[in-house]
Amino acid sequence: MLASSAAWDVCTPDPSAELAPYTAARLREVTAPSFSPRPKLQAPLRVLRVEKAAAGGFNVIAKWKANARLPPPARLQLRNPLATKVDGGGTADTSTPAQRLAAAYMEGTIEGDELVVHTPQPPILCTGFEGSVASSARHLFDLAGESEEGKGCLAGAPLLTADDESTKVPGVFLVGPSVCQGKLSFCFIFKFRQRFGVVANAICSGLGRDTEMAVATCRKTDMYLGDLSCCEATCVDNAC
């Protein structure tokens, strides 16, 4: 398995940033020493192309990426990372640049080098799906590019104001699992439903309605997530 990052070693209390418990359990099972054949996990890689091999099968051509730093261990860690060695990465990186370069030479994983993996079966592309905004409402929203703000699951995310309003078309608001604010993703219902009140407040206030009592009621039931500072580290220990 070629991956852009060692997601199997990310352990945070935020379910949108790590493997689902069921997926992690299955992966732990098949990477155990007693399991055969054991899958080989390789990261961080960017697949460039897939070609038919002359002798049959397919060649997957990928390029090694820089060994990205994984998020630091969470204060409340709900599971342990996989106890398996991963080619090219998979652990929290606290070494110096010189140490990382030396380790890369030892493992043969230099940034920019190409890796060719042969498979007799057609390879499976598992990069998820294009978001509903990008596929159906691209003309209404600016989308995050390949910048620092657009990495990982935030790549291609619609850019919004603090009230989840389109930065491209005023008066168009977004609710649901595609909502992102900065580096925070609200792709789970227990997160994005708390933004409904923020959007409703912005619309009603723009129409001249008094929303003070309604907002206060929502806050009492933790259904008004207007202050995102509680989500910067973990959403488990707060009202997010």
Length of the chain: 240
Q: Is 83:128 a contact under the CB 8 Å cutoff?
A: no
pLDDT of residue 237: 35
**Domains of the chain, earliest start first:** 7-119 (no CATH), 132-231 (3.50.50.60)
User: At 53, phi and psi to the nearest 5?
Assistant: -85, 145
pLDDT of residue 85: 45
pLDDT of residue 72: 58
Give the count of beta carbons closer than 10 Å to the beta carbon of residue 204: 14
pLDDT of residue 106: 41
Torsion of CA 132, 133, 136, 138, to 10 degrees: -150
User: Would you write out the chain's pLDDT as a tens digit for each of its 240 residues?
Assistant: 999 888 888 777 666 677 878 888 898 899 888 999 988 889 889 999 999 999 999 999 999 988 766 555 555 555 666 654 444 444 444 444 444 444 544 455 678 889 999 999 999 988 777 778 988 899 999 998 754 455 656 778 899 999 999 999 999 999 998 999 988 888 888 889 999 999 999 999 999 999 999 999 999 998 999 988 766 544 333 333
pLDDT of residue 111: 82
Q: What is the pTM of this model?
A: 0.59
